[in-house]
Chain A
Amino acid sequence: MTIRSYQYRLQVLATVPDLNKTVTTNLNLVSEGEDGVRRFASSTLGPIGTGLFQTALYEVQLASIYIPSSELGLSSEAVAVNFPGVESELGLGSVVSVDVLATKEPQSQLELSMTSVATFTYGVRNLSADQELALSSVAARIYEPSPQTIITFLSEACRLFTGESDLALVGTACHLFFEGESDLDLTSEVLVNKTLTQNVEHSDVVTQAVAWFVEKPCNRLNFMRMHGEGGAEHEAKRLQYSSTFLLQSIDDGTIVQLRNPEMDDRQRYAFNRINRNFFDGSPDVFVDDNWVTEQSQTYTIVANKREKLDELFTFLQDNLGREVILKDWKGTTWVVIITNPGTLYTEDGEGYWTLDFDVEGSAFDGEWFITRLGLTDENSRAGSIFNRVGSHTLDTEQLLGRAYDVDGDGAPPPQALSLTTDVSFVIE
């Protein structure tokens, strides 16, 4: 006896919720609160889509609570979306989102009890009020926003330029709910104390070359004639050369400075002279147009301490064969190529070294600054016999103050510094 079963299946005949039916019913909620004020709420349930009933319900459920303006003396309206309490009674898992356009409860925390009656216009099985929808609900209002709101603006505006129209504070206070004006005590203090940081970004290297010459610096000298005894004592002559010996790399801006040394100047002029004898025996001399400005120079620096010697030697090694800026002890600026960093340094005394190196280049008219300017930098210039000491602090007024007083009035030379590069000012 054998039975073979090839298939075993089950089928269920069942009534299901009517998910395709549009169910629209009004939920009328009436409540009288402790303050004797009747509140009315209405809710529209539906339409019900083809999805789950619960989902469709809470999507469209709206409840509006209207407070008679005559009783409260206020024309106010509060709109509550998916009022809490309703959600729990219906078990719909709805999203609770209460938007109350009010800042304060009228009396105290008030429980708003709502009794509801749902009327279905036609029989929808299993959607009767005593089964699926328990529309007897209690909505408790526990949301009590604070009546006082302090809005503090901690801001500071500090601008050197136009600032009046940049900070506009527009405050609007709406008090639409419950009691009168006393409840709405919006004391707002606006402190405008914002610091606006002005950042200046300059991606380009701001360089400047300023040169000016004092045509008649000697006009200020007064020569006193004296003969014999008496007369005015000669004013002590002070060395005017406060310049330093400066080497600066054009490539990376590295600077090496030595204290105003005595250079034992020796300038070696090298040029080719072409002498040619013509048939008639007369010599003609030709010169190169540039030979005058191409100068080979040998610098000998004595009495260097070891650390300064190392720094200088490193610079000379790093920039061998490169154009560098050289400002000599007289303040004359040269653009030179280091041709020989020197090979033998001697220690003349204990800890004091002498070195020499060779460069070749030409003098630069005026004075050369390659310092990358920051607006907080303080630039100082050492003067030469033609260019005197100047220092300045760059500020946002873009003026360069110099302690150079040609005519004694203390004013800086006009257009001494002209920032013409692209500089973006970012004001935060």
Chain B
Amino acid sequence: MTVFYCEGFESVGDSGTADLDFESRIDATDSQEWRTANTPPTSGLEVDFEGQGYAWANGLFDGSDSQHLAIEFPTAFRSTSSAASKTYCCGFRYYNGEINAAFGIKERTLFYTTQGSSLPGSTLANMKVSEDQLDLIFTPSGSSSSTATGVLSVNTWHYIEIEWKGTTNGANGGFYRVYVDGAQVLEDLNANMTTFTFFTNYGVWVGEGYSASGTNTEQPSKFDDIYIMEIDGVEHTEPLGPVRVFGMTVNSDETPNDWAPSTGSDNYAVIDNEDWETADYVEGDVTADDDHYGVDNTFPVTPIAVHGVRVDVVCEATDGTPNLHIGFDDGTADEEDKGTIATGGEVQKTAFFDKDPSGSDWTATSLGSVEATQRMTE
């Protein structure tokens, strides 16, 4: 299973000039930075969404590609040759504060906001807002659409989930199911999913804006817990339910504790700070240096199904060509070699684990029973 997700963002709709903070971008490539980089965003307001995690409040999007929050897929994920057989599931939580706002979904632009129904580009789905209700319009093939009437409301958090299976270009045989707040509102089990099948350029982008023919309109809205996952052809017959992105931190040192902290004696305390600094680090300079940490698995709401855990490490090689291994260990190591770390600049390394080291599905309990690890080889 391949999963991409990001925490969310908010548009306050106060300007026609896009002010999206691209530090919020989360993707699967190692070259992209994490949300909090060395230099925090200089614009936008930090927004604490419900539950754990937060994103940034930004200005109004204008609908151009350069002003979208991207979930950028790696090249393999953008494959056009085998995508027809893949099944995807994506979802997000959406909050709209204005009755005249709308947003759409299309390739490269997962969520796109416009005014009225005149959406630019090849719209896959849009949420059209009339004066008294919010309709969800889903357009999988770009030419035909189906509408779920009155399933959305303003000033309310909605959880929207779409599951689909692609088809070859122009052919039927795919399917889609659209859920709003856990209830299925649309379904086509023999659909032409042309525009949903291929992610030819990047992946999906998240954004909102106004129609090219429209005017700037305040469209304050919030997106949270955005994810898209390839579910390897397994067809779900019911929604996953509300999916949230929880942040976890390391909260203790475990044995071994080989890496040397730059300050103090607690390795975890140096690297668990939210906004990292170059002066605070743990350092491994001997092959097989291994650092283990305990994990804080305190959640505001106990998860009932864990789809995966991601490890993100911001690191740098100061000399030589060391390799970084990150992962988990509960007696059976489950780590991923992120390759050689280059010198001269911090990079973010990411590994996603959909099983715990024992090979079992993650549970709320196992999240706190394993040790997070990082190790150096050369």
Chain A interface residues toward B at CB < 8 A: 1-21, 122-126
Contacts and interface: CB of A to CB of B under 8 A. Distances in A.
B324 interface: yes
Counting from the closest, the 3 A-B pairs by CB-CB distance are: A1-B320, A14-B303, A125-B241
B239 A125 contact: yes
Contact of B318 (A2, A7, A12): A2
B93 to A, nearest CB: 10
Contacts of B76: none
A6 B315 CA distance: 6
A124 B179 CA distance: 11
A1 to B, nearest CB: 3
B301 A16 contact: yes
Contact of A14 (B246, B259, B313, B346): B246
Given A1-B376, A8-B313, A15 B240 contact: yes
A3 B315 contact: yes
Contact of A2 (B239, B268, B280, B283): B283
Interface of B: 3, 5, 34, 36, 51, 157, 159, 181-184, 227, 238-250, 259, 262, 268, 271-273, 276-278, 280-285, 287, 291, 293, 295, 299, 301-322, 324, 341, 346, 362, 364, 367, 372, 374, 376, 378
Contacts of B307: 13-15
A5 B259 contact: yes
Given A6-B346, A18-B159, A21-B181, A11 B241 contact: no
Contact of B317 (A3, A12, A17, A126): A3
Nearest to A50: B50
Nearest to B179: A123
Q: Quick one: which of A10, A19, A124 has the most chain B CB within 10 A?
A: A10
Given A1-B322, A3-B316, A18 B287 contact: no
A266 B330 CA distance: 119
Contacts of A20: 157, 181, 242
B3 A125 contact: no
Q: Quick one: which of A8, A19, A123, A124 has the most chain B CB within 10 A?
A: A8
25 contacts: A1-B285, A1-B319, A2-B284, A3-B284, A4-B262, A4-B283, A6-B314, A9-B247, A10-B250, A10-B310, A12-B245, A12-B310, A13-B3, A13-B243, A13-B244, A14-B244, A14-B303, A14-B364, A15-B244, A15-B307, A16-B51, A16-B302, A18-B241, A125-B241, A126-B305
B241 A4 contact: no
Given A10-B372, A12-B245, A15-B243, A21 B182 contact: yes
Contact of B321 (A1, A10, A18): A1
Nearest to B352: A13
B328 to A, nearest CB: 9
Contacts of B312: 7-11
A15 B319 contact: no
A129 to B, nearest CB: 15
A3 B377 CA distance: 10
Given A5-B315, A9-B248, A122 B310 contact: no
